[in-house]
Structure 1
Amino acid sequence: MLLAGIVFTIVLLGSILSIANGESDWGSETFKMWLVGGIFAFMMLGSWLAIYSKASDGKNDRSNVDL
């Protein structure tokens, strides 16, 4: 995930700099930024849910709660 974050940051900064320098149009660069950002956010969300979710190991199962 750290590598994905580094790659995402490099692509994002490269896209912003190329737009700022007038080397490319907004359409393609914006699409690439959103595409890579969306993939990265989906991967991060999935990994966080897999790591921090207690539901998969049964420790947070509400049906086993005794009141």
Structure 2
Amino acid sequence: MQAWRRDDGRFYYALITEDLFGLVLMIAHGGLTPARVCTVPISAIEDGEKILADIARRRLAHGYKRHDAGVT
């Protein structure tokens, strides 16, 4: 899981995972509350890594800082 936070309290988390049926999904949520969740099917884990790189670039451009998600 990758995580970003901004000084005003906003956050954004994103991860690539597989569901029980083998479908590759990108799950992302962010904002000021954890209520906003987006789940998007993607074709392969490699495509998901490209999407995460784009998300990271966009978050950094919008003033977010990389944050340790603390997930084990």
Kindly indicate whether structure 1 or structure 2 has the higher relative contact order, using CA contacts under 8 Å at least 6 residues apart: 2
TM-score, scaled to structure 1 = 0.35
Q: Please tell me whether Structure 1 or Structure 2 has the larger radius of gyration of its CA atoms.
A: 1
Q: Whose strand proportion is higher, 1 or 2?
A: 2
TM-score, scaled to structure 2 = 0.33
